[in-house]
Amino acid sequence: MHLMNMASEASAPRLRGKTGEKLPLKDSTTVQGSAGLLDEAEAALKMLEYGSNSSWPKTTSDAAEESGDYSVNDAIDAIGVGWLQITILIMSFLAMLAVFAQILLSTTINEILRCTLKLSDDKVALISTMLFVGELLGTYPISKLMDTYGRRPGLILITCLMFFYSAIVSIAPNYVWVLILRLIAGIFVVGVQSSFMLYLGEITPSSFRALFVLGQVLFFGIGSVYVATLGYLVLPVMGWRFQCLFAAMPILPVMVAAWIFPESPRYYALTGSLKSAVETMKKIAAGNNKELPEGKLIQATIRDKEERSSVFQLLSPELSRQTLMLWIIWFCVYFCYLGIALSSGRLIRITSPLPPTAGNESLNLDIDPNSTLFIPPDPVAEGVVKAKPENVLRVATEDILPDHPHPRMTAPTCAEEDKEPVECEVIVSNSEYVDSVVASFGDFMAAPCIVVLVYTFGRKGGMSISLLLAASFMLCIIVTLGQIPPLVFIFLSRALTMGTYGGLFLYTMEAYPTSTRAIALATGQFFAKMAGALTPFVAESLIKRSPVDAILIYFFVCITGSITVCLLPLETQGMGLKDS
């Protein structure tokens, strides 16, 4: 009997009192305060579910606590934030600026390419699509590269190749080469975006991770404003080739700085190189005037190359539901954001719901006769095109635009049936172009919006509310279209969808362990870029025939994303990154 009592005491779960001592379950009545009661209840529930405490599931941090050692999470939290993390953060900001400058470059050069290369609407839309096809093709190989050879080598290679292929578009001799080079550039654009998000999240302490990762969204918006401002200043004076060259410049300092970055300690621990992980963290800690925790570094699971970066791991029974839902959300969010961004200029120009008339066709305003909402039929009366021929910018097939009295040029159209050099007229007023730049500031406001929402309502609640609000503003665009300028609603829709896009990076990093984190981000980006390849056909083609139908599509896709976020099985707020 005495032996049975001893065995019972030995198997009883140990609880923490207020002073930190461990107490057996039978003495738990001495535990005072709500913290002790919660620990007791949790222990009792685990006892019922798992039996003795030896069979309880343990995290890496739990195992480290019991043995007196420490995990990678513990070490990175102890190191805190110093010069290295700040440097990585700044370079990551510039990388995100460069990424979104490339993504939204098409919004400024497509129409001038239509004129200089005499392209049809479908060919113009294909220029936008090719970048996203490249991103589709690049997601999985980039994740394999990062998981096989490490985070640092991947960053160095990807940034160099992104700069090269983004800049070389500026010397493309013809339309086919523009398509090919934009396709290849897309492979490395998605690589820079995913790899910097992954690297920053892995090397940042948990208390700062959400702020640092969501802060990237701020520079998504700055990238949008940057490329729009280039279109305002550079494109009319120097031409589309210099526009492409300047859009590639922000990645240059990132390419240089990547050489001084250390390897991610989490990657070293994942591959079993614990000595290298400790040495790296000691150097970072010394730079921050901090010390590593006492004890030795432990790692619960070591994965070899064959076990890492497998899509089948994401579809395992315990992860399949979460993975499939996240793929849907990635698709919905990016489809809506990019669609609203690409259609902003056209939506701003729609000021009349009157049906088209036969007189419209002679104006060469690129109006679909089946449209229910269209640009006003009298551009001279509306102040869109100047009455005097000398005040109208005419663009022939030269690459560099000729000098003209009005340097602000946007959205030209061309008579594609002409076999002679194409002439294009400016059909958008300066004020409307400024409105387009202002609308891009919605991306700039995405970061504060999503930070407030996820800190207030949690990861799931914040993203779901953000998408729901974005959908409501899309409805406002439909209701007010042709009556009042939709600039404010476009601004808010872009801010909320872009903010949710940044929130998805944070959630995905926190929801998956180190062994599958890169592939989880890569597959999420795959579905996002699939949406990016499809949405130009709605934002640039369907919207010409029926803007209402186009915005309704974005509304329903946004609602679908909001509902799916609510159904996610895991709330990750307050969780450390999983190492196994």
The verdict on 211 and 300 lying in the same domain is yes
Q: How many residues does the structure list for the chain?
A: 580
441 by Cβ neighbours in 10 Å (0-12 / 13-18 / 19+) ranks as: middle
Query: What is the rounded radius of gyration, in angstroms, for the C-alpha atoms of the chain?
Result: 27
Angle, alpha carbons 509-513-515 (nearest 5°)? 110
Which ranges of 288-445 would DSSP assign to H, the alpha helix?
311-314, 320-349, 430-444
Instruction: State both tokens at 115.
Output: 């004129």
Cα-flanking dihedrals φ and ψ of residue 14, to 5°? Answer: -95, 140
Instruction: State both tokens at 232.
Output: 């305002």
DSSP, collapsed to helix, strand or coil, labels residue 364 as coil
Q: How far apart are CA 531 and CA 338, in angstroms?
A: 9
Residue 364 lies in a domain: no
Instruction: Write down the pLDDT at residue 327.
Output: 95
The verdict on 9 and 112 lying in the same domain is no
Residue 572 lies in a domain: no
Residue 376 lies in a domain: no
- Residue 205 and residue 76 in contact, taking contact as beta carbons nearer than 8 Å: yes
DSSP, collapsed to helix, strand or coil, labels residue 69 as coil
Q: How far apart are CA 475 and CA 489, in angstroms?
A: 9
Residue 49 lies in a domain: yes
Q: How far apart are CA 381 and CA 379, in angstroms?
A: 5
Please give the residue range of the domain that contains residue 17. Answer: 2-57
The verdict on 40 and 171 lying in the same domain is no
Residue 560 lies in a domain: yes
Residue 362 lies in a domain: no
pLDDT in tens, the chain (580 residues): 444 444 444 444 443 443 344 444 434 333 344 444 444 444 444 444 334 443 334 444 444 445 557 788 888 888 888 888 899 889 988 998 898 888 878 777 877 888 788 877 778 878 878 888 888 888 888 888 888 888 899 999 999 999 999 999 999 888 899 999 999 999 999 889 888 888 888 888 888 887 888 777 777 777 777 887 887 788 778 888 998 999 999 999 999 999 989 998 888 888 888 888 889 888 888 888 888 888 888 765 555 555 555 677 888 888 889 999 999 999 999 999 888 888 877 777 665 444 344 444 333 334 444 433 333 333 333 343 333 333 333 333 333 333 333 333 333 333 333 344 444 543 344 555 566 666 666 667 777 888 888 888 988 999 999 999 999 999 998 888 777 777 788 888 988 998 898 889 889 888 888 778 878 888 888 898 889 888 888 887 788 778 888 899 999 999 999 999 999 998 887 776 666 5
Give the residue from 87, 99, 228 showing the smallest Cα distance to 525: 99
Query: Cα dihedral sign for 58, 313, 320, 210?
Result: positive
Q: How far apart are CA 113 and CA 561, in angstroms?
A: 34
- Residue 36 and residue 30 in contact, taking contact as beta carbons nearer than 8 Å: no
The verdict on 336 and 450 lying in the same domain is yes
Residue 542 lies in a domain: yes
Which ranges of 51-174 would DSSP assign to H, the alpha helix?
60-67, 72-79, 83-103, 106-116, 121-149, 151-167
Residue 125, CB half-sphere, CA atoms under 13 Å: how many? Answer: 18
Total number of domains constituting the chain: 2
**445 CB neighbour count, 10 Å cutoff:** 19
Cα distances (Å, whole numbers) of residue 120 to 55, 124, 175, 453, 479: 67, 6, 12, 43, 31
Q: How far apart are CA 453 and CA 462, in angstroms?
A: 4
CATH code (residue 119): 1.20.1250.20
- Write a three-state SS string for 453-482: HHHHHHHHHHHHHHHHHHHHHHHHHHHHCC
The verdict on 25 and 83 lying in the same domain is no
